[in-house]
Each structure stands twice: as C-alpha cells, then as structure tokens.
Amino acid sequence: MGSCWGAQTHTLRTTAMALCLSTAKYASPVWGRSVHSKQIDVTLNETCRLVTGCLRNSKVEEIYVLAGIAPPAIRRAVQADWERTKMTKDDRHPMHGIEANNFRLKSRNSFLKKDEMLKNN
C-alpha cells in the first residue's frame, strides 16, 4: 500500500480471483469435505497474503477481510449450497430427483446431506 513498485492492489486481487480462487472453486462441492482441502487453503492463504501485502504472522481471518474475499470454507459452503439448490429446483439438471445414498463409512459424506444440516441450523 505504501510502496510505489510492483503491481497495483487491484491488479493483484483480480489475478488472484481469476487464477487461484477460480481453480479452488472448481468442483469444490465434491472435494470440499475432504481432509485434503486444508492443503488448498494454505495456498489460498498465501495468495491473500500477496494481495494484501501482509506478513505471515497476521491472522488468516483478517487477511481475507483486508482482501475483500470470503474465506475458503465459506466459499465452499456457498458453492455446495448453490449446487444442491440447482439439483433440487431445476428439472433439467441430470441429478434432479436423485437422493444421496447412505454410505458405509462415516468419512464419506455427501454435500447434499451436509448442506441440509447447515440449512436446518
């Protein structure tokens, strides 16, 4: 903010939104419940640090507020909710009317059932 060299803040934010955040958003309703999603969060945190110019010791929650970008967990929840809404409301959707199966393993949670729990709370 106080320096006169390098790319402007708007350019960095636009580039981060176009490259990093759109890549993380791709199929996020499917893989968003994975334990490996935290690895993607680390990369997104570093991207937001570049956009804001904050150092590593600043809190992650504050970095996203300064960058004007929603945190990854919220972005994934919104994307999963949007996908679930499309599946339930749009008759043309290929998965319209299909119910999620009950999985044998507790770690296999469908985003359909998880988001219903979020909606009810």
Q: CA-CA distance, 98 to 1, in Å (whole number)?
A: 50
What's the average model confidence in pLDDT over 74-85? 86
- For 29, phi then psi, to 5°, come to -60, -30
Provide, rounded to the nearest whole percent, the portion of the chain with pLDDT above 90.
13
Please give the distance of CA 83 from its chain centroid, rounded to a whole number.
13
Higher-confidence residue: 111 or 71? Answer: 71
Residue 117 is predicted with a pLDDT of 45
Global pTM reads: 0.70
CB contact at 8 A, 37 and 76: yes
Q: Which one-letter DSSP state was computed for residue 99?
A: P
Residue 33 is predicted with a pLDDT of 78
| Average pLDDT value over all residues in the chain | 80
CB contact at 8 A, 60 and 66: no
pLDDT at residue 39 is higher than 70: yes
CB contact at 8 A, 11 and 45: no
Residues 6+ apart with CB under 8 A from 103: 109, 110
Residue 26 is predicted with a pLDDT of 87
Residue 5 is predicted with a pLDDT of 65
pLDDT at residue 12 is higher than 70: yes
What's the average model confidence in pLDDT over 49-61? 89
User: Which whole-number Å values give the CA distances from 103 to 17, 34, 38, 42, 87, in the listed order?
Assistant: 35, 15, 23, 29, 20
pLDDT at residue 11 is higher than 80: yes
